Amino acid sequence: MNMFRASFWLHYAGPQAFYGLAGRVWPWCAALAAVLGVWGLWLGFMVAPADAQQGEGYRIIFVHVPASWMSMVIYMAMAFWSVLGLTFNTRLSGMMTRALAPTGAMFAFLSLWTGALWGKPMWGTWWVWDARLTSELILFFLYLGYIALTSAIDDQRRGDRAGALIAIVGAINVPIIYFSVKWWNTLHQGASVSLTKSPTMAQVMLWGMLLMAMCFWLYTIALVLYRVRTTILQRESHTAWVQAIVQEIA
């Protein structure tokens, strides 16, 4: 099979083929995520030295920064699947978007939580109205809005399409929100605290952070594929191939 042919992709966009593919891929991703996580934490906690200014407290970045990245990447992924779903009417995209949302919301929450725990010892306050923190908060709200909307609509197709539209509208807004909060922040000089990290980050710290980021990536992929499999079973429960799977288990 040729990856560059449309038929290859269309084949795996079908629920049955994707169910099989996801079933084969997710355990590998999960295992790799575990390995990278252990490696990253080992580098972060056992190898990386204390930071000159922040002491041991800086070690929060090993989850904070990757979680923030993931929260943004996942929202972009949701928007991507939504565009795909609305233009090509593929059944898979709605399921993918729905499966991504809870994990995205979790990472947004973790980013806020760890940010607050980092802020308290470093700046003496749990929360500052900084552009990045505020945008992250709004992003968290956008996730909640998506989840609330899709779960409030009973009709599955309508839910998928309505969710897709709001995901796209949200994704267009994220940069505008970030820009506006940043502008607002420069106007209110008093509250601003420089969040820029020292430019010379120790090599090993960077590696720890990158490994953790990759761990979160793979964790997300594994979990999302797993969730999509559940959704596929649910939505395709009337089809012969799902019946066959059920029979096998029973």
Partner 1 sequence: MLTVSNISCVRGHKPLFAPVSFSLQPGQVLHLEGDNGIGKTSLLRIICGLSHADGGEVLWNGSSLSKQHPEVVEAFRAALCYMGHHQSLKDELTAIENLLFDAQIAGRILSYDKAMDALQKMGLKNRAHLPLRVLSQGQKRRTALARLSLTDAKLWVLDEPFVALDTHSLNSLQVILANHVQQGGMLLYTSHQAVKLLKTNGHLVDIRSVQMVAA
Partner 2 sequence: MMWESWSQFWDMGGYGLYVWGSMGVTAACMAIEVWQARSAHHQHLAQLREEHEGHL
Partner 3 sequence: MMWQAYWAVVRRDVLLAWRRKSEGLSAVFFFVVVAALFPLGIGPELTVLRNIAPGVLWVGALLSSMLALQRLFEADFGDGTLEQMALSPIAMPLLVGAKMLAHWLVSGLPLVLLAPVLGLQFDLSGDALVTLTFALLLGTPILSLVGGVGAALTLGVRGGGVLLSLLVLPLFVPVLVFGAGAVEAQVSGLGVQAHLSILMAMLLPALFFGPLASAFALRIALE
Q: Which residues bind to partner 1, rule: CB under 8 A?
A: 157, 237-238
Task: Collapse the DSSP code of 24 into the 3-class scheme (helix H, G, I; strand E, B; otherwise coil) and give the result.
Answer: helix
Q: Contacts with partner 3 in 178-237 (CB under 8 A)?
A: 179-181, 183-184, 187
Q: How many residues does the chain have?
A: 250
246 binds partner 2 (CB under 8 A): yes
Applying CB under 8 A, what is the total number of residues that bind partner 3? 27
Among partner 1, partner 3, partner 2, none, partner that 230 touches (CB below 5 to 8 angstroms by kind):
partner 2
Cα four-point dihedral sign 99, 103, 106, 108: negative
Strand partners, 55: 51
Applying CB under 8 A, what is the total number of residues that bind partner 2? 39
Q: Contacts with partner 2 in 31-60 (CB under 8 A)?
A: 45-47, 49-50, 55-57, 59-60
CA distances in angstroms from 129 to 123, 196, 214, listed in the order given: 12, 15, 29
CA distance 188 to 55: 30
In a 13 Å sphere around the CA of 23, the CA atoms on its Cβ side amount to 12
Among partner 3, partner 1, partner 2, none, partner that 57 touches (CB below 5 to 8 angstroms by kind):
partner 2
Task: Return the number of the residue (73 or 233) whose C-beta is nearest partner 1.
Answer: 233
Any idea which residue has 């204390």 for tokens?
50
Q: Contacts with partner 3 in 166-185 (CB under 8 A)?
A: 166, 169-170, 173, 176-177, 179-181, 183-184
Q: Contacts with partner 3 in 140-169 (CB under 8 A)?
A: 141-142, 144-145, 148-149, 152-153, 155, 157-158, 161-162, 165-166, 169
